[in-house]
Structure 1
Amino acid sequence: MPFPPINIDLLVSAGHIVPIEPAGVVLENHALAVDQGRILALLPVNEARARYAPRKTLDLPGHALMPGLINMHTHSAMSLLRGIADDLPLMDWLQGHIWPAEGANMSYQFCHDGVRLAMAEMIRGGQTCFNDMYFFPDATAAAVEAAGMRAAVGLIVIDFPSAWAQPGEYIHKGLALHDSLRGKPLLKTTFAPHAPYTVNDEALRQVRQYATELQIPINMHIHETAFEVEQAVAQTGKRPLQRLKELDLLGPDLIAVHMTQLTDEEIEEVAHYGVHVAHCPESNMKLASGFCPVHRLMHAGANVCVGTDGAASNNDLDLFGELRSASLLAKVVSGDARALPAAKALEMATLAGAKALGWDESIGSLLPGKAADFIAVDLAALNTQPVYHVISQLAYALNSRQVDYVWVAGKPLLIEGQLQTLVEDELRAKASEWRNKITNK
């Protein structure tokens, strides 16, 4: 006698499922079974319909299901500064334009509104999680929780005073926020010292101490430009990575952002210490910061993930575009067309980010028991036809606006291209208000 069907929350069938694990696998005409926010099974459509009695069924024969993308480096509130100072080198961009604009406008409300605008763009582009670094991380956490997205909230540390904190207060306020977010499954924290040139040794020692005690990652801009490295050598006689090594910062809990200036010895050290690298190719190209040696890092055994950086320096938060740029740039820099193939590029934007955050037991791939953070993308669009290789189409041909559905922990954030937890008209109005205020109109 056959068993009765099992009641579940959701059954989504699709023409293709790309689970990321195992690497390079594409499941055709399969379904994803979801209950209580977690993945129960991936199985052929006919078997799924016989086994489960879902409260909601969605049939998407022209779509591909895959894990939600993980944006491993954002300054999400800076979406309100998009385009304010383009076509400038990094230090001129920062010191002459961005820092003054932040100083004049920084507030809890600025960050809350900016994060909401950024999340709308990220969700519509298939992102379910982002790793943030900015002031007023409490505003970021509140916005993320209300929208139902997943995020690692950076506890910013910097030597400069800001509207968020004074020097000496950053770590204390960050610890208080960390404690307040305990028990919130969609939120975690990282320590986010801004960069070696903006954080003193004593603060970095405290970051190391608390990160070890609390077992949370450290997230930091490192070796972003040649000028940064040259300045450090001139002032201290040490390259930034050497200084961080002496301060015991190198380890598997460090997410090193940018890393465009690396010697062969430093590449080997990054791999040896298990440091994760967050690669932001489009921001690095736009600011002429340099090229991260992704192919050599991966060959050495380092885990490399991908991020967009902030919208003020990119100028978008399109992670599908970013992973494509990462793949193409790796080929050009290495002189090898086989460097960073399509499947690896998709892994960089999913599972590699989850590993860097210590969240890979829950997100980053579609496996039974993991959180139901997944997306559905329409492959029937003309720019992804004909479909010979699904993974190649996702990595090289897809437009992010082909993302039709997004779920986080089994809850829909995007249905048929429409946001479910954020209101576009409200976001546009807020963006206009801030533009008028920032430009004194």
Structure 2
Amino acid sequence: MTPETRPEPCDLLIEAGWVVPVEPHGVVLEDHAVAVRDGAIVALLPTREARTRFAAAETVSRPEAALIPGLVNAHTHNPMTLLRGIADDLPLMEWLQGHIWPVEGAVIGPEFVADGIALAIAEMLRGGTTCANENYFFPDVQAAVYKRHGFRARVGLPVIDFPTAWAKSSDEYFDRAGEVHDQWRDDALVATTFAPHAPYTVSDANFERIRMLSDQLDVPVHLHTHETAQEVVESHDKHGQRPIARLDRLGLVNDRLIAVHMTQLTDAEIALCAERGVSVVHCPESNLKLASGFCPVGKLLKAGVNLAIGTDGCASNNDLDMFGETRTAALLAKAVAQDASALDAASALHAATLGGARALGFDASIGSIEPGKQADLVCVDLGQLETQPLHHVISQLIYATGRNQVSDVWIAGRVRLRDRILVDMDPAELVANAKQWRARIAAIRLT
């Protein structure tokens, strides 16, 4: 064998019945393989060619599976897995102020955050999610847990206009935010974003500080906004402006804004978001459950707004199932627009992958299967009876596939789920820990 024909070494070769790269849009490649070296994708090519070109240290063959980019959960509060189901069937403000905040006030701390995120990581991995945009307190603890488990995340640096267990004053929120950002600014897996809670809990002065620091550090701003009609009315009463207009006045409506929920939008506000490059994160199941309203997904897409999908937290959803969330998003968009093509299957998959990556500023490295990007990859078994017969791969992924069909997950080329078995995580231990938190929270609520 001459040097010219000698196979190239690679760490991993994944052979799949179908590869759905997401970019180009709507493409499905049959009998293709992805070669991975040093955590990155080095080639996407027909399986037969891959076997000749590469000498892989490990080959994973999944002839009945679709290989897709890892799903990106673009808005979540993952420590709140430990609050799953404690206050269901309530409107947003009653749910938040009457139940969630009082319980959080009693239990929140580093241990609660670390244990909740570990449980969430396991759930997300088993559902094909490889990246999360986190919004909660104790971001230092969050970042350390995500890093320990090899999970990709943007960790929110919280700002809110009242004392919490994380910080007691505005200055302390910003000082601690700076410390966490500096610690993780060069990490390969974990990055930061500013996470002001919402327009109704953050002052103009603090928004102005966030805008200045976001510009200086090139850090996104991850914000709940236009979530309910009540929020919009109260903003107009207090500030004389709708929330988006107020944010625009403060310089925050730009391509760093990750605007979550956005159920209350005028056509002019949609046009403004498109013009400024705002990303909108749609959380349909949380919005439905809290009766918050309907995000106008069809109008946003027609205007050219980048759309991402998020589950929100387990206290309001009540799961981290991105397959289920994306299906709900696709179906709800059709009903709201009264247009069956409002969010088609390929566009829904884009929102759950590359759209989320773009919202987080990670689209240069994840969100699609392309040489040079990080190998955040998911195998989905389409050979099960629930997804037979297989006429259209992408439609089947969106409208028929359950998260239980995820067989294998890699993040930066490192296997995190193999044949449905979590790698380096003990499900029995996670369940036992969740049960002891249930007992502790139940005892608090009885006092």
Task: Quickly name the TM-score band, shorter chain normalised.
Answer: over 0.9
Q: Which residue of 1 aligns with 2:443?
A: 440
- Give the CA deviation at 1:167: 2.1
Whole-Å separation in 1 of the counterparts to 2:7 and 2:294: 53
Distance (whole Å) between structure 2 residues aligned to residue 427 and residue 201 of structure 1: 41
Deviation per CA, 1:44-67: give whole Å up to 9, x if none.
Answer: 111100011100011110111010
Which amino acid in 2 is paired with 1:3? Answer: T
Counterpart in the other structure of 1:96:
98
Cα distance in 1 for partners of 2:314, 2:425 equals: 19
The 2-side partners of 1:421 and 1:331 are apart by 41
Q: Which residue of 1 aligns with 2:164?
A: 162
Provide the residue aligned with 1:8 in structure 2.
10
Ranges in structure 2 where 5+ consecutive residues have no aligned partner: none
* Distance of 1:100 and 1:368 partners within structure 2: 48
Q: Where does residue 387 of structure 1 map in the other structure?
A: 390
TM-fit CA distance, 1:389: 0.4
Checking the alignment, whether the CA contact within 8 Å between 1:148 and 1:421 is kept in structure 2 is: no
1:189-235 deviation line (CA, Å, top 9, x unaligned)? 10000000000111111100111000010000000000111111122
Match of 1:66 in 2: 68
| Corresponding residue for residue 56 of structure 2 | 54
Deviation of 1:306 (Å)? 0.5
Matched ranges for 1:151-190 at <5 A: 151-168=153-170, 169-190=172-193
* Residues 1:369 and 2:372 are matched in the alignment: yes
* Counterpart selection for 1:333 from 320, 333, 336: 336
| SS in structure 2 of the partner of residue 439 of structure 1 | helix
Distance, in Å, in 2 between the alignment partners of 1:438 and 1:46 is 55
Q: Partners of 1:183 and 1:200 in 2: how far apart?
A: 30
Structure 1 runs of 4+ with >2 Å offset: none
Deviation at 1:139, TM superposition (A): 1.2
Shift of 1:27: 0.5
Tell me if structure 2 keeps the 8 A contact 1:133–1:192. yes
Displacement after TM superposition at 1:356 (Å): 1.0
- Contact 2:76 2:313 (8 Å CA) reproduced: yes
- 313, 317, 332: which one aligns with 1:310: 313
Matches within 5 A, 1:200-279: 200-279=203-282
Q: Which residue of 1 aligns with 2:136?
A: 134
Deviations 1:403-434 (A, max 9, x none): 01000000000000011132111111111111
Equivalent position amino acid for 2:351 in 1: M
State the match for 1:358 in structure 2: 361
Q: Is the 8 A contact 2:13 2:35 kept in 1?
A: yes
Which stretch shifts more, 397-406 or 430-439? 430-439
Partner secondary structure for residue 440 of structure 1: helix
The yes-or-no answer on 1:415 pairing with 2:418 is: yes
Does the 8 A contact of 2:159 with 2:196 survive in 1?
yes
* Contact kept? 1:79, 1:118, Cα under 8 Å: yes
Partner of 1:323: 326
Helix, strand or coil at the partner of 1:65? strand
Alignment size in residue pairs: 441
Deviation at 1:160, TM superposition (A): 1.4
Residue of structure 2 in register with 1:378 after alignment: 381
Distance 1:62 1:54 in 2: 21
**Corresponding residue of 1:280:** 283
Pick aligned residue for 2:304 from 285, 301, 306: 301
Moved more, 233-242 or 287-296: 233-242
Distance, in Å, in 1 between the alignment partners of 2:415 and 2:47 is: 21
Once the 2 structures are TM-superposed, how far is the Cα of residue 238 of structure 1 from its aligned partner? 1.1
TM-score (norm 2): 0.98
Mapped to 2, the partners of 1:141 and 1:408 lie a distance apart of 16
Contact 2:185 2:192 in 1 (8 A): no
For 1:281 and 1:382, the matched residues in 2 are separated by 28
Contact kept, 8 Å, 2:376 with 2:411, in 1: the verdict is yes
Q: Which amino acid aligns with 1:292?
A: C
Name the residue aligned to 1:29.
Answer: 31
Q: CA deviation at 1:138?
A: 1.0
Deviation sequence 1:308-335 (CA, Å, 0-9, x none)? 0000000010001001000000000000
Partner amino acid, structure 1, of 2:225: I
1:71 alignment partner AA: N
Deviation at 1:282, TM superposition (A): 0.3
Once residues 279 and 80 of structure 1 are traced to their aligned partners in structure 2, the CA distance between those partners, rounded to angstroms, is 23
What SS does the corresponding residue of 1:120 show, helix, strand or coil? helix
Classify the secondary structure of the residue corresponding to 1:34: strand
Distance across 1 between alignment mates of 2:173 and 2:427: 33
CA contact (8 A) 1:39 1:371 kept: yes
Q: Secondary structure at the match of 1:231?
A: helix
What SS does the corresponding residue of 2:443 show, helix, strand or coil?
coil
Supply the distance in 2 between the matched residues of 1:100 and 1:339 (Cα, whole angstroms): 40
Which AA in structure 2 matches 1:328? L
* 1:256-313 Cα distance to aligned partner (Å, 9 max, x none): 0000000111111111111100000000000000000010011111101100000000
Alpha-carbon shift at residue 357 of structure 1 (Å): 1.1
Distance 2:197 2:291 in 1: 20
Structure 1 position 120, deviation (Å): 0.7
Q: Whole-Å Cα distance in 1 between the matches of residues 206 and 424 of structure 2?
A: 38
